[in-house]
Structure 1
Amino acid sequence: MRPWEANIRQVVPYVPGDQPGGDRLIKLNTNENPYPPSPGAIKALRELETDRLRKYPDPAASVLVEALAGYYGVEADQVFVGVGSDDVIAMSFLTFFNSDKPVMFPDITYSFYKVWADLYRIPYETPALDGDFNIIPEDYEKENGGVIFPNPNAPTGIYMPLEQVEGIIKANQDVVVIVDEAYIDFAGRSALELIGRYENLLVVQTFSKSRSMAGMRIGFAIGNRRLIKALNDVKYSYNSYTMNLPSIVMGTESVRDKAYFKETTDKIIATRERAKKRLSGLGFTYPDSRANFIFASHPRVPAYKLFEALKQEQIYVRYFGGERLCDSLRISIGSDEEMEELFAFLERYLKDFS
Structure 2
Amino acid sequence: MSRFWSPIVHSLTPYVAGEQPVISGLVKLNTNESPYGPSPLALEAISQATADTLRLYPDPTARDLRAAIAESFGLDANEVFVGNGSDEVLAHTFQGLLNHDGPLLFPDITYSFYPTYCRLYGIAFQQIPVDGEMRVRLDDYRRPCGAIILPNPNAPTGIGLPLAEVESLLRDRPDQVVVIDEAYVDFGGESAVPLVRHYPNLLVIQTLSKSRGLAGLRVGFAVGQRPLIEALERVKDSFNSYPLDRLALAGALAAWKDREWFERHRELIVASRQRLAAALRELGFEVLPSSANFLFARHPGKVGAVLAGELRSRKILVRRFSAARIEDFLRISIGTDEECDRLLAALGEILQ
Shorter-chain TM band: over 0.9
Offset at residue 45 of structure 1 (A): 1.6
Q: Find out whether 1:179 has 2:180 as its counterpart.
A: yes
Give the number of aligned pairs. 351
Aligned twin of 1:310: 311
Aligned twin of 1:266: 267
Aligned to 2:223, the other structure's residue is in SS state: strand
Aligned twin of 2:7: 7
Instruction: Tell me the TM-score normalised to structure 2 length.
Output: 0.97
Q: Find out whether 1:157 has 2:158 as its counterpart.
A: yes
Is contact 2:177-2:202 (8 Å) kept?
Answer: yes
Aligned to 2:173, the other structure's residue is in SS state: coil
Offset at residue 8 of structure 1 (A): 4.2
Q: 1:227 to 1:341 in 2, by over 3 A?
A: same
Aligned to 1:85, the other structure's residue is in SS state: helix
Q: 1:339 to 1:6 in 2, by over 3 A?
A: closer
Q: Find out whether 1:65 has 2:66 as its counterpart.
A: yes
Is contact 2:160-2:291 (8 Å) kept?
Answer: yes
Offset at residue 54 of structure 1 (A): 1.3
**Alpha-carbon distance between aligned partners in 1 of 2:21 and 2:252, rounded to the nearest angstrom:** 26
**Alpha-carbon distance between aligned partners in 2 of 1:239 and 1:274, rounded to the nearest angstrom:** 44
- Per-residue CA distance 1:204-223 (angstroms, 9 max, x = gap): 00011001000000000001
Aligned to 2:238, the other structure's residue is in SS state: helix
Aligned twin of 1:345: 346
Q: Which moved more, 1:94-103 or 1:203-212?
A: 94-103
Offset at residue 285 of structure 1 (A): 0.4
Offset at residue 170 of structure 1 (A): 1.7
Q: Percentage identity across aligned positions?
A: 46
Counterpart residue identity of residue 232, structure 2: L
Offset at residue 4 of structure 1 (A): 5.3
**Alpha-carbon distance between aligned partners in 1 of 2:4 and 2:243, rounded to the nearest angstrom:** 31
CA RMSD of superposed structures (Å): 1.3
**Alpha-carbon distance between aligned partners in 1 of 2:144 and 2:276, rounded to the nearest angstrom:** 41
Aligned twin of 2:334: 333
**Alpha-carbon distance between aligned partners in 1 of 2:192 and 2:52, rounded to the nearest angstrom:** 40
Is contact 1:104-1:124 (8 Å) kept?
Answer: yes
Is contact 2:106-2:148 (8 Å) kept?
Answer: yes
Is contact 2:73-2:194 (8 Å) kept?
Answer: no
Q: 1:84 to 1:3 in 2, by over 3 A?
A: closer
**Alpha-carbon distance between aligned partners in 1 of 2:140 and 2:152, rounded to the nearest angstrom:** 16
Aligned twin of 2:112: 111
Q: Find out whether 1:90 has 2:61 as its counterpart.
A: no
**Alpha-carbon distance between aligned partners in 2 of 1:49 and 1:245, rounded to the nearest angstrom:** 8
**Alpha-carbon distance between aligned partners in 1 of 2:90 and 2:46, rounded to the nearest angstrom:** 27
**Alpha-carbon distance between aligned partners in 1 of 2:293 and 2:22, rounded to the nearest angstrom:** 22
Is contact 1:81-1:219 (8 Å) kept?
Answer: yes
Offset at residue 231 of structure 1 (A): 0.8
Offset at residue 7 of structure 1 (A): 2.9
Instruction: Tell me the TM-score normalised to structure 1 length.
Output: 0.97
**Alpha-carbon distance between aligned partners in 2 of 1:348 and 1:4, rounded to the nearest angstrom:** 51
Aligned to 2:198, the other structure's residue is in SS state: coil
Consecutive unaligned residues of structure 1, counting only runs of 5 or more, are none
Aligned to 1:203, the other structure's residue is in SS state: strand
Aligned twin of 2:249: 248
